[in-house]
């Protein structure tokens, strides 16, 4: 049953999931996500944590039940735990079903216990290799041991972890079976993701692209994969791996898009709302937020934006121009 405040897009999909990029900054420079000499937004353009909380509260009033904090790296945003604590109040009232985040794991040793105390039950950790040297190469700045300690700290704090791995041709395709056994052996789910054509980077994405249909066929030579209806609110399709007893998800924006069931929108740290990760169309929520003490203007701006949410994205690996399908970097919208 729809509540009066529910957000329904033109295709009848209820928008119940909000991803909030709290910063475009990161302490890594992953080669498929960023250029090494990234120019980040000036701090004055960013919404304050109080403004981000106010915007999130409006979305929750309008029917959002799941909220994920992303970045860049969300845990490098100064005083980020203030925002987590404020948002956790919506868990206590029952207005929000889940508060979670996606992280590179570098800051987890510092924050895991506090996250759990705020009612965060599960997190996603982005990790593309178990080889420390390859890890350094792909993140440019990351320290593998620090991430491992962060994962241990999070599990000790009682957080459920899902490992997110971007499948990259010629880099980690042969390592994925080992990563699967490692994750499942530690009670963690794993999801593999096709590289997404977003933002100018220093590499050629046509060289990186590995269709997950191909990866799945290879995995099925070693493992028994059974499709299951398990859902976490995101776009992954899951299988159960008989040999490990764990779950493996596939996120396939290119070989098989997942738009028909899309229930999410994305808010950036500047107050820009993207109705689709793979489209440039957006709405400015910062101006209506700052021009009024009340929330009516921003609520109307959200309604107008949801009213033009597209049916699907236009992701394609462009082999002719080698240019990204979407010009903004993944770190702007938070994946």
| Domain locations in the chain as residue ranges | 17-162+260-333
List the one residue out of 303, 310, 318 whose CA is nearest residue 281: 310
Binding residues for GTP: 19, 68, 102, 162, 264-266
Confidence of residue 207 (pLDDT cuts 50, 70, 90): low
Residues of the chain above pLDDT 70, percent: 86
pLDDT, tens digit, for every residue of 153-167? Answer: 999 999 999 999 999
Q: Give the DSSP H or E segment for 290.
A: helix 286-290
pLDDT, tens digit, for every residue of 285-321? Answer: 999 999 999 999 999 999 999 999 888 755 443 444 4
List the one residue out of 271, 275, 266 whose CA is nearest residue 285: 271
d(CA 197, CA 253): 10
Q: How much is the pLDDT for 196?
A: 63
> What CATH number was assigned to the domain covering residues 17-162+260-333?
3.20.20.70
Report, in this order, helix, strand and coil percent for the chain, each rounded to 5: 35, 20, 50
CA distances from 120 to 72, 73, 115 (A): 19, 17, 6
Q: Across all residues in the chain, what is the average pLDDT? A: 87
CA distances from 272 to 46, 204, 210 (A): 10, 28, 31
SS3 at position 62? coil
79: left (phi over 0), alpha (psi -120 to 50) or beta: left
Binding residues for S-adenosyl-L-methionine: 32, 72, 126, 196
List the one residue out of 178, 220, 177, 212 whose CA is nearest residue 193: 212
pLDDT, tens digit, for every residue of 1-40? Answer: 344 468 999 989 999 999 999 999 998 888 877 777 778 8
Binding residues for [4Fe-4S] cluster: 26, 30, 33, 259, 262, 276
d(CA 15, CA 5): 11
Binding residues: 19, 26, 30, 32-33, 68, 72, 102, 126, 162, 196, 259, 262, 264-266, 276
State the residue for tokens 């079976």: 177
Contact 197, 316 (CB under 8 A): yes
CA distances from 171 to 35, 58, 212, 226 (A): 18, 42, 14, 26
């Amino acid at each position: 049953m729809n509540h009066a405040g529910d957000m329904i897009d033109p295709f009848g999909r209820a928008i119940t999931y909000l991803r909030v990029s709290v910063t475009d900054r990161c302490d890594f420079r992953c080669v498929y996500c960023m250029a090494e000499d990234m120019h980040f937004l000036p701090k004055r353009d960013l919404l304050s944590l109080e403004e981000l909380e106010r915007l999130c509260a409006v979305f929750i009033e309008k029917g959002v039940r799941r909220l994920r904090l992303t970045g860049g790296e969300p845990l490098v945003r100064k005083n980020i735990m203030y925002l987590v604590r404020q948002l956790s109040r919506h868990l206590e009232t029952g207005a929000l079903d889940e508060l979670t985040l996606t992280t590179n794991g570098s800051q987890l040793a510092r924050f895991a216990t506090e996250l759990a105390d705020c009612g965060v039950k599960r997190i996603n950790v982005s990790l593309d290799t178990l080889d420390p040297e390859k890890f350094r190469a792909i993140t440019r700045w990351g320290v593998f041991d620090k991430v491992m300690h962060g994962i241990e700290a999070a599990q000790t704090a009682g957080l459920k972890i899902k490992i997110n791995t971007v499948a990259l041709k010629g880099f980690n395709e042969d390592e994925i079976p080992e990563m699967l056994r490692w994750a499942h052996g530690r009670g963690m789910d794993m999801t593999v993701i096709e590289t997404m054509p977003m933002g100018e980077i220093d590499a050629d994405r046509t060289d990186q692209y590995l269709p997950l249909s191909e990866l799945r066929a290879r995995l099925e030579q070693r493992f028994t994969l059974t499709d299951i209806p398990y859902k976490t609110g995101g776009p992954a399709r899951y299988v159960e791996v008989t040999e490990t007893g764990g779950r493996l998800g596939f996120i396939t924006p290119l070989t098989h898009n997942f738009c028909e069931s899309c229930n999410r929108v994305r808010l950036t740290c500047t107050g820009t709302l993207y109705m689709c990760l793979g489209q440039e169309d957006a709405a400015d929520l910062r101006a209506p937020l700052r021009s009024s003490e009340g929330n009516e203007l921003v609520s109307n701006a959200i309604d107008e934006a949801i009213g033009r949410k597209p049916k699907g994205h236009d992701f394609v690996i462009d082999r002719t121009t080698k240019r990204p399908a979407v010009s903004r970097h993944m770190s702007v919208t938070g994946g």
